């Protein structure tokens, strides 16, 4: 009897345990919750750049507030980032403690004037995840670059014997290919040449630029400078260049005789006129000059 009583008691106890178990185990999920008490990570929030931010730096960092209600948990973050509305997976971060916030992430150098989308999915060390919303921001426009410094002058700097009908030319342009560039031309016989003209606008890629200063004087040193302006009001100042025009034929003739044309004597001049008027072609010349041309040269020289 004692034995059977014990058996009955044990059976009753087992039945009680089984019935209790049936009550407290309604699903597999609550078994998990009961066994480790884990909570999913917090929903990622507080994005920086803020959602829909504009004019964001191309060097911007992403940051957000994450964490996990379970203070002892570690949390990693899957970063989705790109220019598509469904940004692509970029990287899983290192594990952070559940209480560390905010989290920073560098997406690298961004493009100007571009809308980016991003999303953070937080994972705790129990394999539970919480996705954040898809955020977006737009980077600022590219900053303006000043025009290129005018270069490659023609006539070359310090050139001599330059034709009196020479056009000026230089290489200009602007690194921003959509820009238009105008050129202020300074030109004259002073070391600080005076402003002559602003050119029409040229495209940023057009080179060389040609400017016609008109017919110049013989045997004269000219100075010139070009200042390039883009359509954003930025400018680049070129150096002052110089060149010297050709001597007139009569000066060349005097040099050929070993005379200094700057201090030629009247008698020498009269002798020269005689030579020219006699129809001879002086050494170094390909043709005789007309009387009219001769008088023009004498006039220049006398001037």
Helix (H), strand (E) counts: the chain: 5, 20
The answer to whether 74 and 66 have CB atoms below 8 angstroms apart is no
Determine which residue in the list 118, 124, 185, 236 makes contact with Ca ion, applying CB under 5 A. 124
Identify the three-state secondary structure at position 38.
Answer: coil
- Give min distance, CB of 296 to Ca ion, in A: 47
**Of 116, 25, 115, whose CA–CA distance to 79 is shortest?**
116
The answer to whether 107 and 89 have CB atoms below 8 angstroms apart is no
Residue whose CB is less far from Ca ion, 202 or 222: 202
Angle at 45 (CA atoms; ends 43, 51), nearest 5 degrees? 135
Residue whose CB is less far from Ca ion, 235 or 285: 235
Assess 176 for contact with Ca ion (CB under 5 A): yes
- Give min distance, CB of 229 to Ca ion, in A: 9
Assess 231 for contact with Ca ion (CB under 5 A): no
Assess 73 for contact with Ca ion (CB under 5 A): yes
Per-residue DSSP letter, 261: G
- Give min distance, CB of 232 to Ca ion, in A: 6
Q: 131 phi and psi, to 5 degrees? A: -80, 145
Assess 130 for contact with Ca ion (CB under 5 A): no
Determine which residue in the list 38, 93, 151, 169 makes contact with Ca ion, applying CB under 5 A. 38
Residues 53-72 touching Ca ion, rule: CB under 5 A, are 68, 70
The residues near 283 (Cβ < 8 Å, ≥ 6 apart) are 256
- Give min distance, CB of 231 to Ca ion, in A: 8
Task: Identify the residue whose tokens are 């300074």.
Answer: 186
Residues 235-294 touching Ca ion, rule: CB under 5 A, are none
Binding residues with Ca ion: total (CB under 5 A): 12
**Of 112, 85, 93, 103, whose CA–CA distance to 44 is shortest?**
103
The residues near 36 (Cβ < 8 Å, ≥ 6 apart) are 126
> Interface with Ca ion by CB under 5 A: which range of 26-34, 87-95, 141-149, 276-284?
141-149
- Give min distance, CB of 233 to Ca ion, in A: 9
> Interface with Ca ion by CB under 5 A: which range of 2-10, 149-157, 223-231, 279-287?
223-231
Assess 172 for contact with Ca ion (CB under 5 A): no
Assess 151 for contact with Ca ion (CB under 5 A): no
**H or E element that contains 63:** strand 62-65
- Give min distance, CB of 28 to Ca ion, in A: 18
> Interface with Ca ion by CB under 5 A: which range of 36-44, 193-201, 250-258, 281-289?
36-44
- Give min distance, CB of 144 to Ca ion, in A: 5
CA distance 42 to 128: 11
Determine which residue in the list 60, 230, 245, 301 makes contact with Ca ion, applying CB under 5 A. 230
Task: Identify the residue whose tokens are 């469904």.
Answer: 86
**H or E element that contains 256:** helix 249-256
The token duo for 278 is 């006699």
Assess 144 for contact with Ca ion (CB under 5 A): yes
- Give min distance, CB of 191 to Ca ion, in A: 30
**Residues of this chain that bind Ca ion (CB under 5 A):** 38-39, 68, 70, 73, 124, 144-145, 174, 176, 179, 230
């Amino acid at each position: 009897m004692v034995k059977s009583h014990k058996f009955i008691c044990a059976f009753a106890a087992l039945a009680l345990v089984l019935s209790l178990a049936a009550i407290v185990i309604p699903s597999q999920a609550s078994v998990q919750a009961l066994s480790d008490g884990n909570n999913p990570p917090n929903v990622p929030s507080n994005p920086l750049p803020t959602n829909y931010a504009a004019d964001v730096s191309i060097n911007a960092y992403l940051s957000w507030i994450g964490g996990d209600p379970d203070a002892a948990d570690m949390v990693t973050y899957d970063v989705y980032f790109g220019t598509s509305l469904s940004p692509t997976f970029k990287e899983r971060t290192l594990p952070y403690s559940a209480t560390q916030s905010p989290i920073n992430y560098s997406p690298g150098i961004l493009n100007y004037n571009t809308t980016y989308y991003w999303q953070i999915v937080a994972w705790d060390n129990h394999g539970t995840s919480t996705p954040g919303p898809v955020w977006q921001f737009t980077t600022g426009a590219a900053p303006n670059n000043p025009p290129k410094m005018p270069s490659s002058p023609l006539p070359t700097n310090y050139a001599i014997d330059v034709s009196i009908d020479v056009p000026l030319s230089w290489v200009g342009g602007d690194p921003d290919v959509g820009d238009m560039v105008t050129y202020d031309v300074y030109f004259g016989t002073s070391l600080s040449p005076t402003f002559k003209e602003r050119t029409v606008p040229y495209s940023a890629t057009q080179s060389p630029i040609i400017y016609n200063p008109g017919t110049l004087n013989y045997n004269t040193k000219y100075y010139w400078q070009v200042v390039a302006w883009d359509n954003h009001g930025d400018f680049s100042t070129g150096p002052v260049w110089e060149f010297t025009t050709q001597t007139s034929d009569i000066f060349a003739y005097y040099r050929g005789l070993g005379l200094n044309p700057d201090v030629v004597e009247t008698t020498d001049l009269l002798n020269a006129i005689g030579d020219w008027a006699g129809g001879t072609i002086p050494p170094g010349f390909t043709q005789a000059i007309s009387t009219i041309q001769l008088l023009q040269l004498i006039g220049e020289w006398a001037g």
